[in-house]
Structure 1
Amino acid sequence: MAFAAPGVLLAPVLGRPDGVSLHGRVLKEAPGEGSSALSRNVRRLAARNWEGAKVEVDFQGVVATVTSGHDGYFEVNLRPPEGGRFAVGASRAQARVGEVSTSARVEVVEDARALLVVSDFDDTLAVTEVTKPTKLVSSALLKDAGTQPVVPGMAAFYGCLRGGQGAPAFALVSGSPIQYLSRVEGFLSRHGFPEGFGVYLRDIGPGTLSGYKQPLIRRLLQQFDAPVVLVGDSGEKDPEVYAQIREEFPGRVRAVYIRDAGRTKDASRFRDMVLFKAPREAAEHAVGAGLADAACVSAAFVKAAPATAAPTPP
């Protein structure tokens, strides 16, 4: 199996004017492109982590060096120069290991941003059928950004969400492995989801088989003061995770939207949540809750005109 070495993964993140936290992973071998989705995915998952790599990160002229941990993971918190602030909006951060470098988008969110949307990925935005092991494995290994099916209407739903100061900040918190970072980013771009997602993927290991979402979501809610919308699906534990977060942060969660992906017989799982089959249902609810633009939803989800009976021949 051919590799180009080494490799650096740097995740796109949300930041604040007073601080940005960057994270990623260093690989001893950067997987090549591969001739098929299977070869690309296997190479992503097989690339060895690099412990002890010196990683130099740079964001808006603030530079720091950090050492990767046992799994190649690194994280660094950057602060603007004394008395300054990071510029609001989109800009790029860089990470370098030796002669190898990469970059990622950082969306610095203004303090007045009025809505934070925290979203799942598998079976919420992308059709992966997590509840069916055979199809899940097929999706994980045989699909890629260009072939992974999208949940129709979810990009339109997200594009119509609004806070008091305009478009929300979006954070993707998913059980997809961090090695699939480029695949997830490519999927979001290909299917027209709003730009500026922070992407927070799972560091695969025995300690992350469960309970991996709550710490990430807690950090986001502690980092940003904005009201929150949580979006997930019914196939795994999103309703339970989101109910826990809502209880821990009283008054912060404006709405919880759960896509019907099966396992919906127990209605108590979805108490005070919006369980929807079609994204239009979620979008129309969001309009009523003051979370989405009515004109945008009306234009994005044009209702089919009633069928017209064929004229009777003379």
Structure 2
Amino acid sequence: MNASVRLAALVLALASAPALAGPAVLLSPALGRPGGVTLQGRVLAETPHGSTALSRNLRSLAARNWKGAKVEVSFQGTVATVTSGEDGNFQVTLQPSEGRSFPPGRHSARASVTGTAATAPVEILADPTPFLVISDFDDTLAISEVTQPEKLVTNALLRDEETQKAVPGMPGFYGCLGTSAKAPPGFALVSGSPVQFLPRVGGFLDRHRFPEGFGLYLRDFGPRSLSDYKQPIIRSLLERFPQPVVLVGDSGEKDPEVYAQIREEFPGRVRAIYIRDAGNTANAARFQDMVLFKEASTAALHAVEAGLARRECVTAAFPPAAPRAEQGKP
């Protein structure tokens, strides 16, 4: 029996295994403004569990959604109750009471249903925040090898936040973005990774020391979200936040086309587009007026010249390579 057959058999066994735990709430880390924040998440009928990365990943994807759950969502003293939909999803916009505003900085939101609750960080962006970074995840920040099906399955199912590798240099690049260390940009991750992987994606960002404060906007995975799932989320972010944006993605799938579309729809709002070379780069027209890079240092140096990153930070994160000694000399 070859490896793919064994993996398929294990997938079926784990996906059909009975649940052993009670319900779970997934609450997405979010970005907000002093005047309001939109929170979203999903309610699962059972908590995914497993002793290996494969079992945890599969049971996360196979967990049943809880339709009709009453979800109490609270943030900074503002509370609302919403009902989860057909796929277990819920979304609510909370606003501060009259005469108040949400204080800029990092705070915690809470969502609860009968028997369980979850918290998630919320980054309230002050109006002077210089810009918003909207980033892809797979093959932009994390090595997923989406264009190679066998390797994609390995990275998606057999790895987790502890074992999936980061794209070299990207934590340093992101950490240097901003006009000063005291004025960082906001970060929003808009990804095709399924919403059930929220804990995994958040853990990955923490483990690899990406900047804190990411809002996570993952895909509601299903047949209706196979394409065009990023544009509505990015449009919503640009409509809610007044700052200019920097878009970062990769060439493996459709990021260049999606970002070009957004740039056309929102003239003057996109400061720069950075595309990591992950293959499929033969057609140069895909990357018109974009920065196509193989090494994160290339993107970082361009960002310095564009006024989007701090020179001293980039120099420290990407020191020049030491010259090699001449052959025959010590």
With the length of structure 1 as denominator, give the TM-score of the two structures. Answer: 0.97
Runs of 4+ residues deviating >4 angstroms: 310-313
**Structure 1 residues 312 and 81: CA distance shift in structure 2, 3 A:** closer
Q: What's 1:181 paired with? A: 198
CA contact (8 A) 1:172 1:200 kept: yes
Q: What's 1:73 paired with? A: 89
Q: Matches of 1:200 and 1:312 in 2, distance apart?
A: 55
Q: What's 1:169 paired with? A: 186
The question of 1:90 aligning with 2:106 is answered yes
In the TM superposition, residue 279 of structure 1 has moved relative to its aligned partner by 0.3
Match of 2:43 among 12, 17, 26: 26
Match of 1:297 among 281, 303, 314: 314
What RMSD in Å do the two structures reach over aligned CA positions?
Answer: 1.1
Report the secondary structure of 2:264's partner residue. Answer: helix
Q: Matches of 2:178 and 2:54 in 1, distance apart?
A: 38
Which letter does structure 1 place at the counterpart of 2:151? K
Bigger shift: 76-85 or 258-267?
76-85
Match of 1:131 among 119, 122, 147: 147
Q: What's 2:230 paired with? A: 213
In the TM superposition, residue 35 of structure 1 has moved relative to its aligned partner by 1.2
Q: Matches of 1:146 and 1:284 in 2, distance apart?
A: 29
CA contact (8 A) 2:134 2:245 kept: yes
Match of 2:209 among 192, 195, 204: 192
The question of 1:60 aligning with 2:76 is answered yes
**Structure 1 residues 22 and 312: CA distance shift in structure 2, 3 A:** closer
Which letter does structure 2 place at the counterpart of 1:44? S
**Structure 1 residues 163 and 221: CA distance shift in structure 2, 3 A:** farther
Which letter does structure 2 place at the counterpart of 1:280? S
In the TM superposition, residue 261 of structure 1 has moved relative to its aligned partner by 0.1
Report the secondary structure of 1:14's partner residue. Answer: strand
CA contact (8 A) 2:22 2:115 kept: no
Match of 2:275 among 252, 258, 263: 258
CA contact (8 A) 1:234 1:262 kept: yes
Q: Matches of 2:262 and 2:293 in 1, distance apart?
A: 20
In the TM superposition, residue 309 of structure 1 has moved relative to its aligned partner by 2.4
1:102-150 CA deviation, whole Å, 9 max, x = no partner? Answer: 1000000011111100000000000000011111111111010000011
Q: Matches of 2:327 and 2:151 in 1, distance apart?
A: 42
Extract unaligned runs of 5+ from structure 1. Answer: none
1:9-37 CA deviation, whole Å, 9 max, x = no partner? Answer: 000000010001000000000112x2110
CA contact (8 A) 2:35 2:95 kept: yes
Extract unaligned runs of 5+ from structure 2. Answer: 1-16
Q: What's 2:136 paired with? A: 120
The question of 1:232 aligning with 2:249 is answered yes
Q: Matches of 1:174 and 1:183 in 2, distance apart?
A: 13
Q: Matches of 2:229 and 2:323 in 1, distance apart?
A: 46
Which letter does structure 2 place at the counterpart of 1:160? C
Report the secondary structure of 2:289's partner residue. Answer: coil
1:238-294 CA deviation, whole Å, 9 max, x = no partner? Answer: 000000000000001000000000000000000000000000000000000010000
Q: Matches of 1:296 and 1:114 in 2, distance apart?
A: 17
CA contact (8 A) 1:113 1:163 kept: no
Q: Matches of 1:95 and 1:132 in 2, distance apart?
A: 38
Q: What's 2:23 paired with? A: 6
Q: Matches of 1:242 and 1:311 in 2, distance apart?
A: 51
In the TM superposition, residue 94 of structure 1 has moved relative to its aligned partner by 0.3
CA contact (8 A) 1:115 1:163 kept: no
In the TM superposition, residue 166 of structure 1 has moved relative to its aligned partner by 1.3
In the TM superposition, residue 4 of structure 1 has moved relative to its aligned partner by 1.2
Q: What's 2:4 paired with? A: none
Report the secondary structure of 1:26's partner residue. Answer: strand
In the TM superposition, residue 310 of structure 1 has moved relative to its aligned partner by 5.4
Q: Matches of 1:276 and 1:87 in 2, distance apart?
A: 37
